[in-house]
Amino acid sequence: MILGSGPAGLTAALYAARANLRPLVLKGIDAGGQLMLTTDVENYPGFPDAVLGPELMERMEKQAGRFDAELLHQEATRVDLSTRPFGIWSGDEEWRVRTLIIATGATAMMLGLDSERRLLGHGVSTCATCDGFFFRGQELLVVGGGDSALEEALFLTRFATKVTVVHRRDRLRASKVMQDRAMAHERIGFVWNSVVEEVLGETVVRGARLRNVLTNETTEVPAAGVFVAIGHTPNTALFEGQLDLDAGYVLVREPTTATSVEGVFAAGDVVDRTYRQAITAAGMGCQAAIDAERFLESQGR
C-alpha cells in the first residue's frame, strides 16, 4: 500500500505496479499534493514547454493506472505498524498490508488570508526554486524570518530587482550565517514588526498591504510576487509514536528509504526538508518501490 498521491506516491505506484506488486494507493484528501497548487512547472524534465502542476499530476496518475495500480480517493485515518501485516484504516474500512510506502508529503504553512489562497500560483508562491524564474526584473516580497525565508530571499535576488523580507518581529530566527549573508545583500531589504494583512491584485499579484504590529499602521507596497516562507509541516500525525521521526519528518536509513519499522518505507517531502522538488520526490518514490520490492522478495514473496 502507498499512502499519498504526489510525485513520490505516484512514482512509487508506477514502479510497484510494473513490478507486479499490485499496489493500492490511498490518494488522500488533497490528492496530487502540492503541485495541485501550482501553475506552470518548467523544471520537470521531459516538458520543454512547461506543464501545469495539476496536469502533470493527472498524467502521473494515468501512467500509474495504466499498469496494475489501484487508486482510491480515500485518506488513511489510522495505522498500526506494530505487527505485520500492518493495519491501515480509512474510517471503518480496514486493510492488512505486507509493506507500506509513506508518501504523505508536507504542507507549506500559509498565512491564512483569502487573498493569499486566491492568488496562489498567480504571484503567491511557497517555493522560490520553482517560481523565482518567473519574476525576472521585478520586485518581490518574502514573508518569514527563518532560514527558509532568507534562503528564498537570497535565491530570488538572481531574478528580482529588489527583495523585501517581511518579518513579524524585529529579530530573525534564521542562523547567523544566513542573517549576515542576507543583511549584506544590496538588493535585500527588511520590513520589521510587520505582517501581510492582504495580498493585493485581482488576477495577479500587484503588491501587499502590510500592518506594523506595534503601531497598527498599514502601508501598501508594490510587488509582483509574494513568497510565503514560514515553514512546512510534514504530514505525519498518523505515525507519531510508531515510527522514528525528526521534527515531524520521517527518518530513513539513507541511502535507502527504509524507516525504523521493517517493511515501511518513506519517500518525498515527508522525509525531505532540503530539496522539496517534484523531481526529487519522484526519484525517492522510485527508490521506495524498489526497496519495497526487495523487502518482499527477501520475505519469500
Q: Catalytic residue positions?
A: 127, 130-131
CA 253 – CA 260 distance, rounded (Å):
8
- Residue of 8, 57, 71, 230 that binds ligand NAP (CB under 6 A): 230
58 lies in the binding site for ligand NAP (CB under 6 A): no
| Cell triple for 266 | 518513506
HSE-up of residue 255 (Cα within 13 Å, Cβ side): 2
28 lies in the binding site for ligand NAP (CB under 6 A): no
234 lies in the binding site for ligand NAP (CB under 6 A): no
How far does the chain reach from its first CA to its final CA, in angstroms?
Answer: 15
Q: Which region, judged by CB under 6 A, interacts with ligand NAP, from 13-21, 39-47, 119-127, 141-149?
A: 141-149
Query: At CA 268, angle to CA 264 and CA 272, rounded to 5?
Result: 100
Q: How far is CA 193 from CA 42, 164, 209, 297, in A?
A: 35, 13, 14, 57
Which residues between 79 and 118 bind ligand NAP (CB under 6 A)? 111
User: Which of residues 54 and 146 has its CB atom nearest to ligand NAP in the complex?
Assistant: 146
CA 133 – CA 121 distance, rounded (Å):
13
145 lies in the binding site for ligand NAP (CB under 6 A): yes
Which residues between 164 and 183 bind ligand NAP (CB under 6 A)? 168-169, 173
Q: Which residue is nearest to ligand NAP (CB)?
A: 146
Amino acid making up residue 120: L
209 lies in the binding site for ligand NAP (CB under 6 A): no
Q: Which region, judged by CB under 6 A, interacts with ligand NAP, from 97-105, 138-146, 199-207, 249-257?
A: 138-146
| Cell triple for 181 | 549573508
Task: Say whether 216 sits in a helix, a strand or coil.
Answer: coil
Tell me which residues touch ligand NAP (CB under 6 A): 111, 143-149, 151, 168-169, 173, 195, 230-231, 273
